[in-house]
Amino acid sequence: MANINAPKGVPDYVPPRSRDFLRVQEQLSSSARLSGYEYIELPVFESTELFERGVGTSTDVVQKEMYTFTDRGDRSITLRPEGTAGVMRAVIENRLDKGALPVKLWYRGPFFRAERPQLGRYRQLQQVGVEAVGSVDPIIDAEVIALADQAYRSLGLNDFHLDLTSLGCSQCRPAYRIKLQEFLGTCDLDQETKERADLNPLRVLDDKREIVSSQMIDAPLMIDSLCSQCQEHYDQVRDFLRIFGVQWNEAPRMVRGLDYYTRTTFEFVHPGLGAQSGIGGGGRYDGLMAELGGSELSGIGFGLGVDRTLLACEAEGLTPFRSRILDVFVIPVGDQSREPSVSLLVALRAAGIAADVCVDNRSIKSAMKAANVSNAPLVIIIGPDELSSSSVIVKNMTSGDQQSLPSEPGTLIPAVQETLRNLQAENRKEDQS
């Protein structure tokens, strides 16, 4: 019988690399959590109409990449390809926009696109996202970008850069659209690209094919056609980014893959990933909530790719983050030591100490091999001699030193906690040196 494998383009994260994945995911949300953003849990699938209206029918996401199916109620359902439209739907449906503004939210989880799989491009991709809804203040734009920058730096990443531009607003984009369409009319484009230009000419600027991109060198740029309000907004965003300590590259030709972006638009790029160099990005979306039936409120957000950020960390040699997941490994020696060992295990965990116990009645030699694999810095051994003297052996797995301590939890656990604190202090000194 043939093995059943994971679907193509859907990565598994198994130990020990899954520890790195989890650490990256947690760190990418850390700056948002420390800045007053609250967690929102979103459905994995939504009405197809949400993404058609929210993402844009001219995008590759809607035209080519969505996983869409009809459910038992004959409704068109789509696995979520991105997070912003779902957040806007939830804000509208739950009337969060009627309370204090801006609404600041963060989320995480899997998203789904029918991509052509390759390293860093998956059909199930993991993201951490942030949305700030209900303010047009440039401070919010700068804050959101700074949160992403801080999140990457909290992982130790250094070799990435930030591309930044403004895509204008409903006042200045129509005139630019006409100017760009006039330019595209002079280019030698295939029929499919011409049709895309009719729907959203900005999408043509994002075409990576040499036959198209070579003709876009002299294309007019949105950044040169900003209205006075958009120019002032963009200038202030950059002023506040300087205060946040964020550096950027001007990227006037950048076009994000979603139609709802307006004004501030950005992408974080890591050259160490090759073709799939974008590790996260986002922008402002002034008309999205109204398009989905809500208030005329603006918002700005980002999606940071957990998969690609992990690859970026690996490219910079920042992993493994997996130094250990356990503090203590308990070894019972002999049948009579099994119950006392489990009782100690329960007490250790109740005290907030990460602990595990050796099972299957292993020999002491085999149990110590398991202790080495666990990477726990401390091993507690309970054998017949220890039972008779109401004691345990505590072994430091780094130095090899061991000592006999009373087994009474009220005495043993504080001693274990103190030893762990000392080990952590020693590790910090080594890291600093």
Distance CA 205, CA 256 (A): 10
Tell me: pLDDT of 320 over 70.
no
Tell me: pLDDT of 321 over 90.
no
Specify the domain boundaries for CATH 3.30.930.10 within the chain: 17-172+226-315
Distance CA 149, CA 246 (A): 7
Among the ranges given (20-24, 87-91, 170-174, 393-397), the one the predictor scored with the smallest mean pLDDT: 170-174
Average pLDDT of the residues in 364-384: 95
pLDDT single digits (tens) 189-235: 999 888 878 877 887 887 778 999 899 888 999 999 999 999 999 99
pLDDT single digits (tens) 96-153: 999 999 999 999 999 999 999 998 899 999 999 999 999 999 999 999 999 999 999 9
pLDDT at 259: 67
Closest CA to 7 of 121, 117, 126: 117
Cis omega before residue 320 (within 30°)? yes
pLDDT at 428: 72
CATH architecture of 328-432: 3-Layer(aba) Sandwich (3.40)
Distance CA 114, CA 179 (A): 33
Distance CA 290, CA 279 (A): 29
> CATH 3.40.50.620: does it fit domain 17-172+226-315?
no
Percent of the chain clearing pLDDT 70 (strictly above)? 97
Whether residue 302 contacts residue 108, with contact meaning beta carbons closer than 8 Å, is answered with no
Average pLDDT of the residues in 394-422: 95
266 pLDDT band, cuts 50/70/90, is very high
pTM reported for the whole predicted model? 0.89
Tell me: pLDDT of 336 over 80.
yes
Specify the domain boundaries for CATH 3.40.50.800 within the chain: 328-432
| DSSP, residue by residue, 157-220 | --S-EEEEEE---TTTHHHHHHHHHHHHTTS---HHHHHHHHH-THHHHT---HHHHGGGTT--
